[in-house]
C-alpha cells in the first residue's frame, strides 16, 4: 500500500482522540490493544485506524495489536507533545475562568502561562493559580515566552481586534470561543468552539424526525 506524504486534516484531528483513548487504557493497566478494540472506543473502524496510522509509519503487529505505551508515545511525538506549549488565554469571564480551571488544559503539552483581561477588578487576581494580567501587557508576554498558541474567550465584538493583536506578536494558532468567524493570515491556524452552531446543526436533524 502506498503511503501518501501529507495526512489530511481529518486524520490529524483524530490523532488526539487516539492518544486520549490510549491514556485511558494505560490507566486501566492495559498493555496491548487491537485496532478493533481501540476503534470501538472512539467509533472508528479498525480499517480507519490502520489507515490513519499508516501515514506516520508502521505500528503494531498482525494478530498482536499495538503496544499501548509505545503507540501513545509515538502519537504524542507526532502531535508535538513531547514538550510543553505555553498558552495565553484572553477574556476571564465565566467561560474564561471555566477554561482556566479545566484540568484537561493542564494536561500533557499545554500550559496556560497567562490570563488576560481589561477589567481592573480582575487584574491581579488568580484563577487556578495563574495570574490575571492587564491585556495591555499581552504582546510583551507573548514575545517573552515565545507563545504560539492562544485561547480567545472575549465577546464577539472584541474577538477580531484581539486576534489581530495576538497574531502581530507572534501567535500562530488560536482556539476561538467567540461566536464570530475570525479573519487571519493563511499561516495562522484558527479553530472554533461554537456550541450554539453545533446545537443548531442538530436541531436540523431533529426537526426532520417530526
| Among the residue ranges 57-65, 113-121, 131-139, 168-176, the one whose residues contact a second copy (CB under 8 A) | 168-176
For 103-108, the CB contacts below 8 A with 24+ separation are: 108/76, 108/81, 108/84
Tally helices (H) and strands (E) across the chain: 8, 9
Restricting to residues 87-146, which ones interact with a second copy according to CB under 8 A?
87, 93-95, 97-99, 101-102, 104-105, 107, 109-110
Instruction: Specify the residue, 92 or 162, whose C-beta has the smaller distance to a second copy.
Output: 92
CB atoms within 10 A of CB 31: 11
C-alpha atoms less than 13 angstroms from C-alpha of 109 in its C-beta half-sphere: 14
Contact (Cβ atoms closer than 8 angstroms) between residue 64 and residue 32:
yes
Q: By CB under 8 A, is residue 17 in contact with a second copy?
A: yes
Report helix, strand or coil for 127: strand
Q: How far apart are CA 53 and CA 178, in angstroms?
A: 33
Restricting to residues 170-199, which ones interact with a second copy according to CB under 8 A?
172-173, 175, 179, 181, 183, 189, 191, 193-199
> Quick one: which of 2, 5, 9, 58 contacts a second copy (CB under 8 A)?
9
The torsion defined by the Cα of 118, 123, 126 and 127, in degrees rounded to 10, comes to -20
CB of 9 to a second copy, least distance (A): 8
Q: By CB under 8 A, is residue 13 in contact with a second copy?
A: yes
Q: By CB under 8 A, is residue 16 in contact with a second copy?
A: yes
Residues near a second copy (CB under 8 A):
9, 12-13, 15-17, 19-21, 41-43, 78-81, 85, 87, 93-95, 97-99, 101-102, 104-105, 107, 109-110, 148-149, 151, 172-173, 175, 179, 181, 183, 189, 191, 193-209
Amino acid at each position: 500500500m502506498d503511503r501518501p506524504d501529507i495526512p489530511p486534516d481529518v486524520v490529524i484531528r483524530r490523532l488526539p482522540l487516539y492518544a486520549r483513548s490510549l491514556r485511558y487504557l494505560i490507566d486501566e493497566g492495559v498493555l496491548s490493544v487491537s485496532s478493533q478494540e481501540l476503534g470501538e472506543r472512539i467509533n472508528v473502524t479498525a480499517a480507519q485506524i490502520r489507515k490513519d496510522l499508516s501515514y506516520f509509519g508502521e505500528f503494531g503487529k498482525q494478530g498482536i495489536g499495538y503496544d499501548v505505551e509505545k503507540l501513545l508515545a509515538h502519537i504524542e511525538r507526532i502531535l508535538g507533545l513531547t514538550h510543553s506549549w505555553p498558552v495565553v488565554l484572553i477574556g476571564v469571564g465565566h467561560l474564561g475562568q471555566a477554561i482556566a480551571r479545566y484540568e484537561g488544559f493542564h494536561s500533557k503539552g499545554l500550559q496556560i502561562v497567562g490570563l488576560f483581561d481589561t477589567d481592573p477588578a480582575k487584574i491581579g487576581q488568580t484563577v487556578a493559580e495563574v495570574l490575571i494580567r492587564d491585556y495591555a501587557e499581552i504582546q510583551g508576554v507573548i514575545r517573552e515566552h515565545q507563545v504560539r498558541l492562544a485561547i480567545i474567550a472575549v465577546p464577539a465584538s472584541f474577538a477580531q481586534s484581539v486576534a489581530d493583536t495576538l497574531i502581530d506578536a507572534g501567535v500562530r494558532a488560536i482556539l476561538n470561543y467567540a461566536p464570530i468567524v475570525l479573519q487571519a493570515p493563511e499561516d495562522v491556524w484558527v479553530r472554533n468552539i461554537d456550541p450554539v452552531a453545533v446545537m443548531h446543526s442538530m436541531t436540523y436533524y431533529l426537526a426532520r424526525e417530526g
